[in-house]
Amino acid sequence: MNSNPNDEPLSELRDNIDKIDRELVRLINQRAQHVIEVGKIKQGSNIPIYAPHREAAVMKKIADLNADGKFPQEALEAIYREMMSGSFKLEQPLRIGYLGPVGTFSHLAATRKFGACVEYENLRAIEGVFEEVARGHVDYGLVPIENSIGGGINETLDAFLQYHDRVNIYGEVRLAIHFCLLSNGKPEDVKRIYSRPEAFAQCRNWLATQYPNAQRIPAESTAAAAKQAKAEFDANSDSDSAAIGSSLAGEIYGLHPMFEAIEDRQSNITRFLVLSPQETEMSARDKTSIMFTADHRPGSLVDVLGVFKRNEINLSHIEKRPSREENWDYTFFIDIEGHRKDPRVATVIGEASAHCKSLTVLGSFPVGEGVL
């Protein structure tokens, strides 16, 4: 029997990879020993286990070290996120609250951010995430704040009106939103589709082309939609149901992705906030979220925003919600560049507050550089 001429060099390359793998595992465990010592110091000094500014510094360092590397940057970042997740488990197990049920995009964002080695708490409402963080029942919470297509999330903005003095914005996560049509039937048999109204809106053109006559049935979440569709298949294997949701929801509830990436805009991104009772330290690049109600007089909003313009501080985001204090009185939410502990930023915020009935800094945190 003739041997393949590629067998010997292939075997040699695989042996080299095996040697490197052994060395990688040894070094990872050596790193873990240092992590354990760091955890002991943190616990003795009441230092937060999760530090966004430190996370940002590590990710930048890894990007710089890999500038001329062959390994894909996004894959290397994913590896380091899981290493950080393992470090949390070694230092002190963390509990992360998110907007449930299991399989939502909030759940997906939380797992992408914090990895496989933390505990996740399925909370049924955005206000519930705020409440559990404020009570200390979870270490951190994750809530959606805006979508690149649908705009701001009113439930989150409204929750800040109630919880602004009990929680801080501790970080942000940007997640690419890719919808799947989930089902265990055949594409031509689909007659009913479950999902959130927002998901239907973000897949409107695709649905109009592929399933113009299918009944669209609203659900409280994309995960609940997947759960309902699976229940109907369990009751009747010839069900004509489907759901629009994440690939994670399909995996969890046992539905197959019949079609993937069905959203009308491939640049569909949702930004999430990480909530904590603590404040963050400064990083290389930060933003600060502020909530304020302007004086009830002509030009007051212009005066507030003019302070930031005059001091050349960029506003990257603005939303408004009814203030709940009196009719036609609004609370504005803005993001500015910089950290509230930066003396220049602190001075400008103080100047702006002079034009406001009330002004609250909701948090300063590292800018979310990548999309998960």
pLDDT tens by residue, 1-47: 556 666 778 888 898 999 999 999 999 999 989 888 888 888 777 78
**Beta-carbon count within 10 A of 357 CB:** 15
Distances (CA, A) of 249 to 19, 160, 313, 357, 370: 38, 29, 41, 44, 23
Query: Model-level pTM?
Result: 0.86
pLDDT tens by residue, 46-66: 788 888 888 889 888 999 999
* N residues, the chain: 372
Task: For residues 332 and 336, give the distance between their C-alpha atoms in angstroms, rounded to a whole number.
Answer: 13
| List of E strands, the chain | 95-99, 119-123, 140-147, 151-152, 168-176, 180-183, 192-195, 215-218, 241-245, 256-259, 269-276, 286-294, 315-322, 330-337, 356-366
Task: For residues 332 and 143, give the distance between their C-alpha atoms in angstroms, rounded to a whole number.
Answer: 19
In the chain, what are the domain boundaries?
A: 180-259, 283-366
What three-state secondary structure class fits 230? Answer: helix
pLDDT value at position 6? 66
Q: Average model confidence (pLDDT) for the chain?
A: 90
Query: Any idea which residue has 């501790």 for tokens?
Result: 170
180-259 in CATH: which number?
3.40.190.10
The set of catalytic residues is: 270, 272
pLDDT value at position 313? 92
Q: Name 311's Cβ contacts closer than 8 Å, sequence gap at least 6.
A: 344, 348, 351
Domains 180-259 and 283-366 share a fold: no
pLDDT tens by residue, 65-124: 998 888 998 899 889 999 989 888 888 889 999 998 888 889 999 999 999 899 999 998
Kindly state the DSSP code that residue 102 receives in the 8-state scheme: T
- Pinpoint the alpha helices (H) of 46-115: 52-65, 73-91, 105-114
Q: Name 107's Cβ contacts closer than 8 Å, sequence gap at least 6.
A: 98, 99, 100, 101, 120, 122, 223, 248
Structure confidence at residue 371 as a pLDDT band (50, 70, 90): confident
Kindly state the DSSP code that residue 187 receives in the 8-state scheme: G
Task: For residues 185 and 69, give the distance between their C-alpha atoms in angstroms, rounded to a whole number.
Answer: 44
**CA-based nearest residue to 343, from 282, 279, 280:** 282
Q: For the chain, what percent of residues have pLDDT higher than 70?
A: 97
pLDDT value at position 295? 78
pLDDT tens by residue, 210-267: 999 999 999 988 999 999 999 999 999 899 999 999 998 999 999 999 999 999 988 8
Residue 153 has pLDDT above 60, yes or no: yes
pLDDT value at position 45? 79
Indicate the fold that domain 283-366 takes in CATH.
Alpha-Beta Plaits (3.30.70)
Q: Give me 271's structure tokens.
A: 């930004």
